[in-house]
Structure 1
Amino acid sequence: MAESFPAPSQTAFVQQLNFWARDASNESAALLGAFALGLFGHLPDEGSAAPVSLETLASRMGGTVRGTRSVIEPLVGLGFVRLEEGRGYSLPAASSFLRRPDFAARMREALGWWLVSAKLPEAVRTGAPVDWHGESRDLLGWYRKEFLEPRAPAPSATAADYDDRAARNFLRTQALVTSGEVGLLDALVSGLRPLAELAKATGSHPESLRTLLEVLVCMGLVRREAESFGYTELAGRSLDASSLPYFQRAFPATMDYWEAFGHLDEAVTQRKFRLDLRDPETARRIYQRNASRITGIFASHVKLGRKAAELVASMRSLKEARVLDVGTGSGVWGAAFGLADPTVHVTYLDSEHVLEQVKPNIAKLKLDGRARYWAGDCLSVDYGEGQYDLILLPQVIPALPPEALPRLFGQLARALRPRGLLIISGYLLTDRRDGPLDALYFALRRYVSNEGDVLSMPDFRRLLEPVGLTSSRGFDMPIQQVVIASRGEVPWPDGLPSR
């Protein structure tokens, strides 16, 4: 059997679980997509020639600049590609294995299982090969080969790392998703249970379920005693009856992007998006579901939003502040500011179907008396002039077309009152756009659904300064970051690290 992961701390284990649920497939998509695009054949070896610019690389691959950047940035963040500031990209000596024909063939074979792997629930229930476009595919056999059988040694530790991230991370995600779908994660909460009992509880074929359980053993989630299986100690503390529903909420969003990631090369070279969120009906379906999912964890996210409200309150008074929450989603950020001061009034702007889910959230907090609901498209409404003290953009920027941002920021700057603040929450990339990794994976997800981009502070300043918001900083908050911008009329808080 393949080696299991070393025993982590509880915090590290939870982080690993969340990575597998949310970001592991994004990472695999970038690493496999690079081979589908032939990216490494267009990079010079480091020191052998001048690095290649992003524009040149995109041209050589026949891809768009934005798409190429979305794929190569995670490779830089992981250290497999070298970025020389102001010059471009090259392949370091430790990544020479990426040119080997046998390694490329291995990656293409793994990519061939991407879309098939979404049929793992069917394979577990039936115990049979799955049909894929008229071809019988032994998906469970592939899982056994990848996780339960000895593997040939990799050319180097770096090659082994790339192989594991590319070829097995997305399979780990599907193992978790399938365990949730068939009810296995719930069935394991009660403790050690015989295989036959688990098979009956989940409606699964016993031997196929055994394969899935053994994969979960390799992942460190499950322990085995004879013919019985149960959570490991760390998994049992992380996936109890109260926390398991929260954890499983990530699965539907991950699966929304599965087909799109399986055709990442099409998006980069043909601008063909299998999940196109610029299509109104697709966007309505996905955003409505996202708002509903976030509503389920509304209370915990309000606490995080209140940290941002405290930061803003250290810069200027919130008394009688007029707040606009643009693209409110679940309403959580506007609610956090509404709770920060009893005189704050919040306008929640989003589409009508999203606002229908916002209203109960606000009513539960008894904030509806100081709330206004504004149904509209954030790119087409008239924001007016000097209307608001605070304007919130909660994870909105990555959902918007990059070409629309200059006009939007101009409108929002005009809508701010004197001493007004623009507060932007979400991921914030480093100045070199080479991290953090979770932000790069999120940016790739945005690209593959034909949405916007994740920005760095230099990116933000290029948008903010021309519209008069000349003072801006980024602050680390729990989970994500906050960018605050003003005309320079508001003093920055003392003692807080910022970018």
Structure 2
Amino acid sequence: MSKPAVSPAFVQQLNFLARDASNESAALQAAFSLGLLDKLPRGPGAVPVSLEALARQLGANARGVRAVIEPLVGLGFVRLEEVRGYSLADATAAFLAQDAFTARLRDVLAWWHVVAKLPEAVRTGGPVDGRDLLGWYRALFLEPSPPAPGPEAEDFHDRFARNFARTQALVTAAELGLLARLVESSAPKATLAAELGAHPEGLGVLLGVLATLDVTREEDGRWGFTESAARMLDATSLPYFQRALPATMAYWEAFGHLDEAVREHRFRLDLRQPETARRIYQENASRISSIFASHLRLSRKAAELVGSMRSLAGARVLDVGTGSGVWGAAFGLAATTTHVTYLDSPHVLDAVRPHLTKLKLEARSRLWEGDCLTVDYGEAEYDVILLPQIIPALPPEALPGFFAKLARALRPGGLLLISGYLLTDRRDGPLDALYFSLRRYVSNEGDVLSLPEFRALLTPVGLSSARGFDMPIQQVVVAHRGDVAWPVVPSAAVTAA
């Protein structure tokens, strides 16, 4: 008998805590420490302020201010009016006028970097950097909190103060081996502490915090997974879940200095530095390669979409910034005569080769070592060009020339497929896309775009027809010169016409 399905809401929440919760806390904390919320107009008759004017008032760069304020709009704490600009939501203005409440927020700002040492605190049971981190966690999660001035204030404080602490609790549970141990069986706290090399008091705090997340529970003196956690985090799925945590931690230090990046345009994790980029992208390619099979199933849906618009038999496909190679491989498998070129840096292509060998695609594949912004793509070389989650990694100022070269390389009837997040026309959602955009900003990369922004880049280079499609997990934008018929019944829902 198969086990009952885990609640989608539980899966969504736990994945949010692993990937985006610390981004959300960072945005709220940066807005507070920058004084951004204080600068926003509020109250009856308030005139919204433009992004550029707000950046001038803060002495900050507009791109950084936008990266911080957009999630606040998506969460409803800030209002955005078309053309006019931003103002503070009435409820936000009310609770920020409470000195006792803002003092609580201010106290949280000192904990970001200390929280990253939770594994040490759990192992030793003592202070770290002279601070009682375990006591802070107890007060935040396991003891009664001071009353907030209303439900909106409590929601703000929860996201501001607890979300990044929740993420670090999951990171610590994975690092200590606690999650893997609980997959095996439940056990008394003392037994778990001895097996994991943790202090019983420190582990007790961690288990208690995880219990507030519905991950752990104590029964008859033994700690184990809840039913929901046991269904989601079994021996097969736990490794997949835990792979998100190192990526989150790679950005932790940078997010702790997000206000500095916005004000001074100085980045603690600068992916425009070649050595830093090499390290991060190589780690990312390794993580993606480990979940290649599941991503291949999803990528084949995109190949089906393109196949409903034009034949892939004999097609020449270019996969730009290929990463693990999963998108190009999906197109290579779509027809036995398709040829795929995989373009990326040498250390990333090293992760592609084993997949092509396993799928028996080597004979119809070419590995092209190069920089996607500087290589010569030629003229009318390709029937399909794939951009798998690469646009947010590129400098915005490079995109017009980049798209011009790609358009020149497309054959008549050719298609450009851009995968990744797609923002709403107002750039006020989806929230996971806004958090991804914030991560791109704090590492000095590119941006996540809306469909109108893509069209503004694609139309001048002759790709005058573009649509967005919903796919599993993410979206794709498909563009062409108007010489390909759109599918009457697409294999994915159209997000915008």
- Both proteins in one fold, TM over 0.5: yes
Q: In structure 2, give the amino acid aligned to 1:338.
A: G
Name 2:371's counterpart in structure 1.
377
CA contact (8 A) 2:6 2:232 kept: no
Residue 192 of structure 1: how far off its partner (Å): 1.9
Name 1:57's counterpart in structure 2.
54
Q: In structure 2, give the amino acid aligned to 1:117.
A: V
Cα RMSD, aligned residues only: 1.0
Q: Indicate the SS of the match to 1:193.
A: coil
Q: 2:14 aligns with which of 17, 30, 33?
A: 17
Q: In structure 2, give the amino acid aligned to 1:106.
A: R
Question: Is 2:437 the partner of 1:440?
Answer: no
Percent identity between matched residues is 69
Q: Indicate the SS of the match to 2:207.
A: helix
Q: 1:100 aligns with which of 73, 95, 98?
A: 98
Tell which deviates more after alignment, 109-118 or 467-476: 109-118
Q: In structure 2, give the amino acid aligned to 1:42.
A: K
Q: Indicate the SS of the match to 1:112.
A: helix
Q: In structure 2, give the amino acid aligned to 1:221.
A: V
Aligned counterparts of 2:400 and 2:102: Cα–Cα separation in 1:
41
Question: Is 2:114 the partner of 1:116?
Answer: yes
Aligned counterparts of 1:214 and 1:177: Cα–Cα separation in 2:
15
Q: 1:84 aligns with which of 72, 81, 85?
A: 81
Name 1:318's counterpart in structure 2.
312
Residue 442 of structure 1: how far off its partner (Å): 0.2
Name 1:73's counterpart in structure 2.
70
Aligned counterparts of 1:92 and 1:11: Cα–Cα separation in 2:
31
Aligned counterparts of 1:201 and 1:341: Cα–Cα separation in 2:
52
Question: Is 2:327 the partner of 1:333?
Answer: yes
Q: 1:474 aligns with which of 468, 476, 483?
A: 468
TM-score (norm. length: structure 1): 0.97
Q: Indicate the SS of the match to 1:382.
A: coil
Residue 191 of structure 1: how far off its partner (Å): 2.3
Q: 1:242 aligns with which of 225, 236, 252?
A: 236
Residue 95 of structure 1: how far off its partner (Å): 1.1
Aligned counterparts of 2:109 and 2:231: Cα–Cα separation in 1:
34
1:404-443 → structure 2 map (5 Å cutoff)? 404-443=398-437
Aligned counterparts of 2:468 and 2:103: Cα–Cα separation in 1:
43
Q: Indicate the SS of the match to 1:204.
A: coil
Cα shift readout 1:196-247 (whole Å, capped 9, x = no counterpart): 1100111100111001001111111001124310000000000011110010
Q: In structure 2, give the amino acid aligned to 1:67.
A: G
Q: In structure 2, give the amino acid aligned to 1:334.
A: G
Name 2:296's counterpart in structure 1.
302
Q: Indicate the SS of the match to 1:488.
A: coil
Name 1:43's counterpart in structure 2.
40
Structure 1 residues 212 and 371, CA, compared in 2 at 3 Å: closer, same or farther?
same
Name 2:384's counterpart in structure 1.
390
Aligned counterparts of 1:98 and 1:363: Cα–Cα separation in 2:
58
Aligned counterparts of 2:375 and 2:292: Cα–Cα separation in 1:
27
CA contact (8 A) 1:40 1:99 kept: no
Aligned counterparts of 2:120 and 2:345: Cα–Cα separation in 1:
36
Question: Is 2:493 the partner of 1:495?
Answer: no
Q: In structure 1, give the amino acid aligned to 2:119.
A: P
Aligned counterparts of 1:101 and 1:59: Cα–Cα separation in 2:
26
Unaligned runs of 5+ in 2: none
Residue 106 of structure 1: how far off its partner (Å): 1.7
CA contact (8 A) 2:41 2:48 kept: yes
Q: In structure 2, give the amino acid aligned to 1:457.
A: L
CA contact (8 A) 2:6 2:231 kept: no
Aligned counterparts of 2:460 and 2:43: Cα–Cα separation in 1:
38
CA contact (8 A) 1:124 1:208 kept: yes
Unaligned runs of 5+ in 1: 1-7
Q: In structure 2, give the amino acid aligned to 1:114.
A: W
CA contact (8 A) 1:41 1:99 kept: no
Name 1:399's counterpart in structure 2.
393
Q: Indicate the SS of the match to 2:111.
A: coil
Q: In structure 2, give the amino acid aligned to 1:222.
A: T
CA contact (8 A) 2:101 2:149 kept: no
Name 1:360's counterpart in structure 2.
354
Aligned counterparts of 1:101 and 1:68: Cα–Cα separation in 2:
25
Aligned counterparts of 1:349 and 1:304: Cα–Cα separation in 2:
21
Q: In structure 1, give the amino acid aligned to 2:29.
A: L
Count of residues in correspondence between the two structures: 488
Aligned counterparts of 2:73 and 2:430: Cα–Cα separation in 1:
11
TM-score (norm. length: structure 2): 0.97
Cα shift readout 1:86-137 (whole Å, capped 9, x = no counterpart): 1100112111212433333222211211111010000000111002xxxx01
Tell which deviates more after alignment, 428-437 or 220-229: 220-229
Question: Is 2:143 the partner of 1:146?
Answer: no
Residue 399 of structure 1: how far off its partner (Å): 0.2
Cα shift readout 1:468-488 (whole Å, capped 9, x = no counterpart): 000000000000000000000
Residue 352 of structure 1: how far off its partner (Å): 0.5
The list of structure 1 runs, each at least 4 consecutive aligned residues, that deviate by more than 3 angstroms after superposition, is none
